[in-house]
């Protein structure tokens, strides 16, 4: 997949089928739209193209209320490539872009840069300054500028449309299994493995990799989870994961994401680790007795190992 930007050479006129959107998470609804784009493009020997943004527009328009992200830009590009796109245009989103009219975006990006012959969007899609651009605006500009428009309905799951907002809600409640069913894969967080309290191995006999995740990412509710860890050297490795404040040791502390790699021994510091969440095991809780905590951690690891063995086909990277 080729990745381009606003200053890249323009694609061939009327030479592509284009979709537009943030595509946060590239969930099942997104995947339906992307499949349609790829099929339409390749059936007519054209390029399948997505125009996306380098950040969520809400992070610029309303930063205090911006939604947590389901995927960072790196992962989003990987997922778009896996969907079969030929070209992804990453458009920087800033205040100047936010003030751009839908008509100017259509002519400058979709037509002049991306050479759109057809534009494919999901139902209810809106864009441009004041979110005044919609499918009617696209259709009108298409008649003027020479491209068709196709509207795709989102996949339905239990009577509700699949959406990034819905998935964020599942993750915030700790229902990572429910989120995975809508994403079409396990929810993943990425970050550098950093030093923590140094307590896991020496005191508890349970060394952990502490993953430093950006504050803009969708982190599951506090609790204990089963999942996988992987990095540039380690393929998906079964892990018991804690998202917590360590209440046995602290009255109040910032949450940490800690992964105990089951049966693993080695130094992971400084690596770029990836945590994939399969299922939630229990709430975080405080223990008055250290031996009780150690016993519960052992039970959590055994529980996680059983779940992960039964769900091995869902491991990332397979």
Q: pLDDT for 236-248, tens place per residue? A: 999 999 998 776 6
pLDDT surpasses 80 at 156:
no
6 within 8 A of 91, measured Cβ to Cβ: yes
For residue 27, what pLDDT is reported? 95
**What's the pLDDT score for residue 288?**
80
Select from 310, 285, 299, 177 the least CA-distant residue to 240: 299
**Phi, psi torsion values for 152, nearest 5 degrees:** -115, 130
> CA 276 to CA 316: how far, in whole Å?
7
Angle in degrees, CA 68, 69, 73, rounded to 5: 150
pLDDT in tens, 285-301: 888 888 888 888 899 99
Query: In whole angstroms, what is the distance from residue 137 CA to residue 302 CA?
Result: 56
What does R_g of the chain's alpha carbons equal in angstroms? 22
Measured distance CA(289)–CA(283) in Å, rounded: 18
CB 208 within 8 A of CB 244: no
**Are the beta carbons of 110 and 147 closer than 8 angstroms?**
yes
Instruction: Give dist(CA 69, CA 82) in Å, integer.
Output: 19
Band of pLDDT at residue 208, cut at 50, 70 and 90: confident
* Catalytic machinery residues: 258
At residue 152, the pLDDT reads 87
At 123, the pLDDT band (50, 70, 90 cuts) reads confident
**Whether pLDDT at 199 is above 70:** no
Percent of the chain having pLDDT more than 70? 93
Integer Cα distance of 131 and 25 in angstroms: 21
What per-residue confidence (pLDDT) applies to 153?
78
Among candidates 98, 115, 106, 113, which has minimal Cα distance to 7?
113
Beta bridge partners of 223: 243
Say how many CA atoms lie within 13 Å of 208 toward its Cβ: 23
Q: Name the residue with tokens 């959406």.
A: 163
> Looking at the predicted structure, is the pLDDT value of residue 200 above 60?
no
Q: What is the pLDDT of residues 26-77, one digit of tens each?
A: 999 899 999 999 999 999 999 999 999 999 999 999 999 999 999 999 999 9
Residue 166, token pair as written in the block: 């819905």
> Which carries the bigger pLDDT value, residue 108 or residue 159?
108
Eight-class DSSP state of 144: H
Q: How confident is the model at residue 157 (pLDDT cuts 50, 70, 90)?
A: low
Tokens of 277: 């969440």
Burial of 251 (0-12, 13-18, 19+ CB in 10 A): exposed
Q: How high is the pLDDT of residue 198?
A: 58
**Residue in this structure with the two tokens 């602290």, named with its chain if needed:** 250
Residue 292: the pLDDT is 85
State if pTM tops 0.85: yes
Pairing of strands 187-194, 209-212: antiparallel
- Between residues 253 and 6, the one the model is more confident about: 6
Angle, alpha carbons 46-51-52 (nearest 5°): 150
Is residue 114 predicted with pLDDT exceeding 70? yes
Task: Flag whether pLDDT at 164 surpasses 70.
Answer: yes
- Domains of the chain, with CATH numbers? 2-160 (3.40.50.620), 184-314 (2.40.30.30)
On the 0-12 / 13-18 / 19+ scale of CB atoms within 10 A, 36 is middle
Are the C-beta atoms of residues 5 and 89 closer than 8 Å to each other?
yes
Mean pLDDT of 68-90: 97
Average pLDDT on 80-104 reads 96
pLDDT band at 251 (very low <50, low <70, confident <90, very high): low
Note the Cα 60 to chain centre separation in Å.
19
Mean pLDDT of 267-275: 92
pLDDT tens-digit map of 136-147: 999 999 999 999
Measuring CA to CA, which residue among 316, 30, 314 is closest to residue 165?
30
The whole-number pLDDT of residue 203 equals 52
Cα pseudo-dihedral 135, 136, 138, 144, rounded to 10: 160
- pLDDT of the residue at 154: 67
Residues 6+ apart with CB under 8 A from 269: 193, 194, 195
């Amino acid at each position: 997949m080729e990745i381009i930007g606003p200053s890249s050479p323009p694609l061939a006129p009327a030479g592509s089928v284009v979709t537009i959107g943030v595509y946060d998470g590239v969930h099942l609804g997104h995947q339906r739209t992307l499949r349609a784009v790829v099929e339409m493009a390749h059936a007519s020997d054209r390029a399948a193209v997505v125009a996306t943004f380098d950040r969520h527009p809400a992070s610029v328009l309303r930063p205090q209320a911006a939604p947590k992200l389901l995927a960072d830009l790196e992962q989003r590009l990987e997922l778009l490539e896996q969907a079969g796109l030929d070209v992804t245009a990453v458009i920087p989103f800033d205040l100047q872009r936010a003030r751009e009219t839908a008509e100017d975006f259509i002519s400058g990006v979709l037509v002049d840069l991306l050479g759109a012959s057809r534009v494919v969007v999901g139902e209810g899609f809106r864009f441009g300054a004041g979110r005044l651009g919609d499918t009617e605006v696209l259709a009108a500009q298409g008649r003027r500028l020479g491209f068709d428009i196709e509207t795709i309905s989102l996949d339905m799951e239990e009577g509700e449309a699949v959406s990034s907002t819905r998935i964020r809600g599942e993750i915030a409640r700790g229902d990572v299994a429910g989120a995975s069913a809508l994403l079409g894969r396990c929810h993943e967080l990425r970050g550098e493995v950093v030093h923590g309290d140094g307590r896991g191995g020496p005191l508890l006999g349970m060394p952990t990799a502490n993953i430093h995740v950006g504050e803009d990412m969708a982190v599951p509710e506090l609790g204990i989870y089963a999942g996988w860890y992987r990095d540039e050297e380690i393929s998906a490795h079964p892990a018991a994961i804690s998202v917590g404040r360590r209440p046995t040791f602290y009255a109040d502390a910032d949450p940490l994401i800690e992964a105990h790699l089951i049966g693993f021994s080695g130094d992971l510091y400084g690596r770029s680790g990836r945590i994939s969440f399969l299922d939630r095991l229990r709430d975080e809780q405080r223990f008055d007795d250290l031996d009780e905590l150690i016993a519960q951690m052992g039970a959590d690891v055994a529980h996680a190992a059983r779940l992960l063995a039964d769900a091995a086909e869902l491991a990332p990277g397979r």
